[in-house]
DNA sequence: GATCGCTGGTAAACTGTTTTACTAAAACGG
DNA sequence: CCGTTTTAGTAAAACAGTTTACCAGCGATC
């Protein structure tokens, strides 16, 4: 038994054909080989337990058949539902098209050395996803307008021309506004995300306020409080809103965690969420269905965002989309999930 | 400007040396090149913005400088603190030694096609980690006794000879037993994990019961209830224990989630955890410090398990450990974290 | 003064694949 | 029967590195 694995040459020798023939058979697209020959070669492969080397395969056309996912260097980035779902979606789409996923963390050193550029330049990877990117990540400007196959997942930036795929946050804002107005709410509070860093968060708020206005409900800026997507912050924000308008009948939070924080605040103020005050969240995290009352929310399909952005990036890489033209933009659909927490305004006895 | 990137040949030409010389300089270990030459070459690299291709580099010696992490196809494997911490540890250790991390999910098709073998055979990867592996994953026997660079993280198997690194669960069991006995507890319940699937879980229980026995406390099998590591299950298990011995004064759960479940059960039975019944968990998940009362627990450093297993695997790959000999085994240290939930037995007024 | 060993470097073979350009033989059309 | 396609296949040049074996020049040794 030979120490080293069989190569394409061994297969060629074993089946008495040229190595070109074997290669052609390997890349099934080419139909120039007769069936008998093909069979002979396939059998030889079988006998020799031949597996083509990815490394060698990538060399001639500089393709690694691998994509990288770059996540920010947060405490437990890998242990977060949000990132987890996006990565799962990317993985799924990549796997079905024969690509692998490389994991990279944007540590300080990593960014300083511009490793995300090296990654592409040294042929380790055919494209990169950036997840959890915010306007704070100034170094993204390195990629501004470049034709490198790079995709921002679930955010975008006015200042840099980059490809992105994100949930349809404007639509999410409109859905929440419509629902609250339909239920008769007029005195509404909104807990928004950090609009200066996260463009999608700004969109959401803008669309929400805009649609309310269209339907005749004016939401003053005093009834919009900003928070950084955490439960505790949601609680504080809601405290603030209640202080500003004790008579509010509904709250829309930009993510579920803050909505859950709002629950806590409401209870602390003797209000029952879903009875005294309607609450709508956004994201539909697994926990949303388990709260008491179950949280009505806008479902953002993060898995889908991951999968969609992956398909788009692969299309660019494989030349199915003209990458040289404009940056690629796409929004994935969102939907309203009605659970117990959004009651009618009419039923509320005003304070 | 040339369309394609600079290659090692371009650098050689630019600096007037042979390509061998450039290669030697690239692989810094070789000191045969004089300093002036080295400088000249380095400057040429700089001028040409040269980045060596990983693909081409790996080809001659069949090294991808990449490791794969294989996770089970669970609902949200990537969104779990446990996996997240291990992966972070692996990532850290791999990055400092110049290796990349590939993510793989052990889906049904993936396993059927033995892709984890292909991965190594096609030179995509130099080694593989299996995390979340249990005895249910029968296909692990494919690797039994093989000299492939494969590492089981935080579990092991009697039936298969495989490399593994895991937390020192026996020590964890002894620490918990000692602590409870020291505090005067004699009537103790234990919620264990699925011992038939997870060997480390069996070890933990065995060591816990063994040490109790050594110290004169007999824990009958009726006071050991098995559960699958979830909060709800912990609650049910604790209900069961309370039914079997309403006078128990302490509970040791094999993981923190189940300990938190036990809290719920205790409260439902009018017992206050940390006051009426001592509770010790295991893992030290982030949430453990935030429960009321804060959970005393055995700290298992999952990040460290990941990092340690990675260092070991790399040593094997790089030949620093004789891989042909025995499978590699190592246990990483654990420690007791004392918080509010483990009270003295003496203070408890027996029911 | 021939031999030895060291220093600094090079030529050429090798890794395992893809791809382009070519050819021999068979089939076909008029 | 001759020229043209078509079919089935091949040789050789990439791809971008590593590695082995070798060599010229030089000072030291005997």
The DSSP code sequence of A56-74 is: HHHHHHT---EEEEEEE--
d(CA B338, CA B268): 24
Nearest alpha-carbon partner for B47 in B11, B1, B2, B23: B11
Which of A71-75, A165-169, B87-91, B178-182 has the lowest average pLDDT? Answer: A71-75
Taking CA–CA distances from A51, the nearest residue in chain B reads: B122
For residue B96 the two structure tokens come to 């400092």
For B28, phi and psi rounded to 5 degrees? Answer: -50, -20
For B196, phi and psi rounded to 5 degrees? Answer: -75, -30
- CB-CB neighbors (< 8 A) of A64 in chain B: 54-55
Q: Is the previous residue joined to A293 through a cis bond, with omega within 30 degrees of 0?
A: yes
A264-287: burial string, b at 16+ Cβ within 10 Å, e else = bbbeeeebebbebbbbbbbbbbee
Residue B152, strand partner residues: B130, B164
Which pLDDT score, from 0 to 100, does residue A347 have? 66
Give the mean pLDDT of A160-181: 97
For residue A324 the two structure tokens come to 């040289």
User: Position of tokens 């337990």?
Assistant: A49
pLDDT at A293 over 90: yes
Task: Please count the residues of chain A.
Answer: 351
Contacts of residue B15, Cβ cutoff 8 Å, sequence gap at least 6: B22, B40, B41, B43, B44
> In this structure, are residues A200 and A282 in contact, taking their beta carbons and an 8 Å threshold?
no
- Burial level of B76, CB count in 10 A (0-12/13-18/19+)? middle
Nearest alpha-carbon partner for B101 in B77, B127, B66: B66
> In this structure, are residues A101 and A66 in contact, taking their beta carbons and an 8 Å threshold?
yes
Most distant pair of Cα atoms in chain A: their distance: 90
> In this structure, are residues A88 and B76 in contact, taking their beta carbons and an 8 Å threshold?
yes
Name the packing angle between helices A35-48 and A8-15 (round to 10°): 120
Of B76, B91, B123, the CB nearest to A81: B76
For residue A14 the two structure tokens come to 């074993």
Compute the 3-state secondary structure of chain B and give helix, strand, coil in percent, each to the nearest 5.
45, 15, 40
A42-65: burial string, b at 16+ Cβ within 10 Å, e else = eebbeebebbbbbbbbbbeeebbb
H or E element that contains B152:
strand B150-153
More confident residue, B280 or A320: B280
* Integer angstrom CA distances of residue B211 from B175, B186, B205, B223: 9, 13, 10, 16
pLDDT at A78 over 80: no
Nearest alpha-carbon partner for B256 in B203, B210, B299: B299
For chain B, list residues whose CB is within 8 angstroms of any CB belonging to chain A. Answer: 5, 51-56, 58-59, 62, 64, 66, 69, 76-85, 87-88, 91, 95, 100-105, 107, 118, 121-124, 286
Residue A65 CA neighbour count, 13 Å, CB half: 18
Q: Are the beta carbons of B103 and A91 separated by less than 8 Å?
A: yes
- N- to C-terminal Cα separation, chain B: 86
> In this structure, are residues A158 and A145 in contact, taking their beta carbons and an 8 Å threshold?
no
Nearest alpha-carbon partner for B253 in B243, B265, B244, B268: B265
Q: Which of A1, A55, A83, A92 to mutate to test the interface with B (most CBs of B within 10 A)?
A: A55
Compute the 3-state secondary structure of chain A and give helix, strand, coil in percent, each to the nearest 5.
45, 15, 40
Alpha helices in B229-301 (DSSP H): 231-244, 256-268
> In this structure, are residues B83 and B131 in contact, taking their beta carbons and an 8 Å threshold?
yes
Of B78, B100, B101, the CB nearest to A84: B78
> Highest-confidence range of A178-192, A316-330, A335-349, B316-330, by mean pLDDT?
A178-192
B66-166+303-332: CATH superfamily: Response regulator (3.40.50.2300)
d(CA A110, CA A134): 17
Residue A15 CA neighbour count, 13 Å, CB half: 28
What residues does each domain of chain B span? 66-166+303-332, 169-300
Contacts of residue A325, Cβ cutoff 8 Å, sequence gap at least 6: none
**Torsional sign, CA A306, A307, A312, A315:** positive
Which pLDDT score, from 0 to 100, does residue B348 have? 63
- What class does CATH assign to A169-300? alpha beta
pLDDT at A345 over 90: no
Q: Are the beta carbons of B81 and A79 separated by less than 8 Å?
A: yes
Domains A66-167+303-332 and A169-300 share a fold: yes
H or E element that contains A89:
helix A81-96
d(CA A291, CA A272): 13
> In this structure, are residues A270 and A337 in contact, taking their beta carbons and an 8 Å threshold?
no
- Other CB atoms closer than 10 Å to residue B141's CB: what's the count? 13
User: Position of tokens 């692990």?
Assistant: B140
Which pLDDT score, from 0 to 100, does residue A3 have? 47
Taking CA–CA distances from B105, the nearest residue in chain A reads: A91
- Interface size A-B, in CB pairs within 8 Å, comes to 117
Residues of chain A with pLDDT > 90, as a percent, come to 79
- What class does CATH assign to A66-167+303-332? alpha beta
Which pLDDT score, from 0 to 100, does residue B73 have? 87
Which pLDDT score, from 0 to 100, does residue B189 have? 97
Most distant pair of Cα atoms in chain B: their distance: 90
Of A69, A76, A102, the CB nearest to B85: A76
Which pLDDT score, from 0 to 100, does residue A111 have? 93
Distance A32 CA to C26 C1' (A): 15
Q: Which of A78, A105, A111, A142 to mutate to test the interface with B (most CBs of B within 10 A)?
A: A78
Q: What is the pLDDT of residues A196-233, one digit of tens each?
A: 989 999 999 999 999 999 999 999 999 999 999 999 99
Distance B136 CA to C15 C1' (A): 39
> In this structure, are residues A212 and A177 in contact, taking their beta carbons and an 8 Å threshold?
yes
Long-range contact pairs involving B286-292 (C-beta distance under 8 Å, separation at least 24): B286/A76, B286/B81, B287/B256, B287/B260, B288/B256, B288/B259, B288/B337, B288/B339, B289/B339, B291/B260, B291/B263, B291/B341
Distance B122 CA to C9 C1' (A): 35
Nearest alpha-carbon partner for B330 in B216, B164, B172: B164
Alpha helices in chain B (DSSP H): 8-15, 19-26, 35-48, 54-61, 81-96, 108-112, 115-121, 169-182, 199-214, 231-244, 256-268, 302-317
d(CA B249, CA B350): 8
Residue B129, strand partner residues: B69, B151
Question: Mind listing the pLDDT tens digit of every residue in chain B (351 residues)?
Answer: 334 689 999 999 999 999 999 999 998 766 788 888 999 999 999 999 999 999 999 999 888 999 999 999 887 677 778 898 999 999 999 999 999 999 999 989 899 999 999 999 999 999 999 999 999 999 999 999 888 899 999 999 999 999 999 999 999 999 999 999 999 999 999 999 999 989 999 999 999 999 999 999 999 999 999 999 999 999 999 999 999 999 999 999 999 999 999 999 999 999 999 999 999 999 999 889 989 899 999 999 999 999 999 999 999 998 887 656 789 999 999 999 999 999 988 666 554
pLDDT at A166 over 80: yes
Which pLDDT score, from 0 to 100, does residue A191 have? 98
- Other CB atoms closer than 10 Å to residue A301's CB: what's the count? 18
Q: What is the pLDDT of residues A136-145, one digit of tens each?
A: 999 999 999 8
- Other CB atoms closer than 10 Å to residue A206's CB: what's the count? 15
For residue A240 the two structure tokens come to 């603030």
């Amino acid at each position: 038994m030979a120490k080293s694995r069989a190569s394409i040459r061994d297969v060629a020798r074993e089946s008495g054909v040229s190595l070109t023939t074997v290669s052609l058979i390997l890349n099934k697209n080419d139909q120039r080989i007769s069936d008998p020959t093909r069979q002979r070669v396939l059998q030889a492969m079988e006998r020799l337990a031949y597996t083509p080397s990815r490394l060698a395969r990538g060399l001639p056309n500089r393709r690694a058949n691998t994509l990288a996912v770059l996540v920010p260097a947060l405490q437990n980035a890998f242990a977060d539902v949000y990132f987890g779902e996006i990565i799962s979606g990317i993985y799924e789409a990549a796997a079905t098209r024969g690509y692998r996923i490389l994991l990279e963390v944007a540590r300080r050193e990593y960014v300083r050395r511009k490793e995300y550029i090296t990654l592409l330049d040294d042929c380790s990877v055919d494209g990169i996803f950036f997840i959890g990117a915010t306007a704070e990540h100034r170094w993204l400007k390195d990629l501004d307008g470049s034709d490198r196959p790079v995709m921002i997942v679930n955010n975008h930036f006015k200042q840099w021309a980059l490809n992105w795929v994100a949930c349809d946050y404007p639509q999410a804002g409109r859905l929440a506004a419509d629902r609250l107005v339909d239920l008769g709410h007029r005195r509404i509070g909104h807990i928004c995300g950090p609009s200066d860093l996260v463009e999608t968060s700004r969109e959401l708020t803008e669309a929400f306020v805009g649609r309310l206005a269209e339907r005749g409900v004016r939401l003053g800026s005093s009834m919009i409080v900003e928070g950084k997507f955490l439960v505790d912050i949601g609680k504080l924000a809601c405290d603030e809103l209640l202080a500003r308008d004790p008579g509010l009948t509904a709250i829309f939070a930009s993510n579920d965690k803050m909505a859950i924080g709002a629950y806590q605040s409401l209870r602390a103020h003797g209000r029952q969420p879903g009875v005294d005050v309607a609450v709508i969240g956004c994201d539909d995290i697994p926990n949303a269905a388990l709260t008491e009352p179950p949280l009505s929310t806008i479902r953002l399909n993060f898995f889908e965002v991951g999968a969609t952005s992956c398909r788009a990036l692969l299309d660019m890489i494989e030349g199915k989309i003209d990458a040289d033209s404009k940056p690629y933009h796409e929004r994935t659909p969102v939907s309203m999930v009605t659970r117990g927490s959004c009651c009618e305004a009419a039923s509320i006895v005003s304070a």
